[in-house]
Amino acid sequence: MIDSQMITFLSLMALLCVAFLVAVSAVGIVSLFNRGLPESLRPLREGLGAAALPMAFAVATVTTAGSLWLSEVEKLPPCYLCWWQRGFMYPQVLILGLALIWPKLRWVSLPMVVVGAGISTYHYLVERFPDDISTACSDSTPCTTVWIWKYHFLSIPGMAWVAFVTIGVLILLARPRATSQPEGAADATIGNIDAESEPELTR
């Protein structure tokens, strides 16, 4: 196992994502039992919805950059399963970057992150139980090698899984703002609504 300042940074980012996922899960459970989101959390939900796509893009960018750092700077050879995870993570930078302009594109990312998370789960299990799970990895770059082990649970596929799931959750939480209307058009719309509703009020 290796360690460096960059690996510490990447693992801390993954830990931050884990905290985010735990918080979202806790709020989801509370909302389920309360049959709705508590009123005090609604402003936070609206703010998160507006920021979710940029956050997903940031997670994908940091994950991709970190992956390239590990292979090109730290010289850690990617295994067969690592390449598959890269294949589902790297395009997220482009897709989610374009989704900042065309928000509907975010739905293209969702099935990809689900598959990527599944591959990461399998890779993590291969690391944890190398004698019980078969894999197609080569002997030169075995998938069972644990290059990084932080906080007693984070390895490379573990951090990839956290990134995939975080991106998926952010896509589901995203509430892109509607294209703003010109001020005059907005006023005209309000005026039309008032004009249409006035007869109802006088009956």
How distant, in Å, are the alpha carbons of 27, 91, 133, 162, 166 from that of 37?
A: 8, 33, 41, 25, 20
Q: Phi, psi at residue 154, to the nearest 5°?
A: -100, 115
Please say whether the dihedral angle defined by the alpha carbons of residues 41, 43, 44 and 48, taken in this order, is positive or negative. Answer: positive
- Predicted confidence (pLDDT) at residue 202 exceeds the cutoff of 60: no
131 vs 62 pLDDT, higher one = 62
Q: Tell whether the model's pLDDT for residue 183 goes beyond 80.
A: no
pLDDT digits (tens, 9 = 90+) for 123-143: 999 999 988 776 667 778 889
